[in-house]
A = this chain, B = another copy of it.
Amino acid sequence: MTTWQKKAVFLDISGVLYVGDSVIPGAVDAVRSIQQSGIELRFLTNTSRQTRQMIYHKLRGLGFECSLQQVFTAPSAAVNWLRQHGKRPYCLVHPDIRSEFAGLDQELPDAVIIGDAADDLSYANLNRAFRLCLAGAPLIGIGRNRYFKLDDEYLLDAGPFIAAIEYAANTEAVIMGKPSVEFFTQVVASVGCLSSEVLMIGDDVHGDVEGALNAGLQACLVQTGKYRPGDENLISGEFDLRSSLVAAIDAMV
């Protein structure tokens, strides 16, 4: 491990802290030790069907010490982006996270948000999104995943619909969520240190590790969750490889 100074640690959630509803051994204590060390801590997730509140309550319910303000989700990053740019969104997002956008003015929209909105990704709604983008509205994507599996069935994620509107309106989406540099940069800004002083710990070699390195952070790949042997060879760049969150934290101090 490099011995660069670490002023903040960013943690991926699913696969690093828990899998399903099972806490990964030692993870609760590891989180507590960071919280008590004076090092800033943030929790980062791409989930597009849960609000920050829902994630926060799940973490607390499993025993993790955290505050709501430490939780950054792709949708909440989109909300931050909209506030910073003074934009009124047309939201094509999953019904379960619509409340996340409730505080924003959505009359006469001048921005478009596309997430995995399921059946709301209809021809009529996509036409509305397209016409706004054709008129110059920025397109914000919540993740760019191709598909996901639900109840043994493959379903289209937001990525293909973002690609569709990009192609139709000849525009390029701003993507919120890992591995987007925009996303990491926004979380770093909440800490107030340099990107190079942050360590990102995750189980996804592309989303977590490669994304963090591209954004100028340090990174550590843990061998829990979705990690598969050899993942560490899929990308280039200098990063750490540890068996679990506990080992990653132990190596820090």
Contact = CB atoms under 8 A, between A and B. Distances in A.
User: Number of contact residues on A: which range applies?
Assistant: 20 to 34
A contact face: mostly helix, strand, loop, or mixed: helix
Nearest to A147: B168
Contact of A156 (B120, B154, B168): B168
A131 B160 CA distance: 13
Contacts of A161: 164
Contacts of A124: 119
B170 A146 contact: yes
A156 B119 contact: no
A207 B145 CA distance: 32
Nearest to A119: B123
Nearest to A118: B123
A156 B126 contact: yes
A154 B167 contact: no
Contact of A159 (B118, B159, B168): B168
- Interface core residue of A160, A163, A169 (most chain B CB under 10 Å): A160
Interface of A: 118-124, 126-127, 130-131, 134, 146-147, 153-157, 159-161, 163-165, 167-170
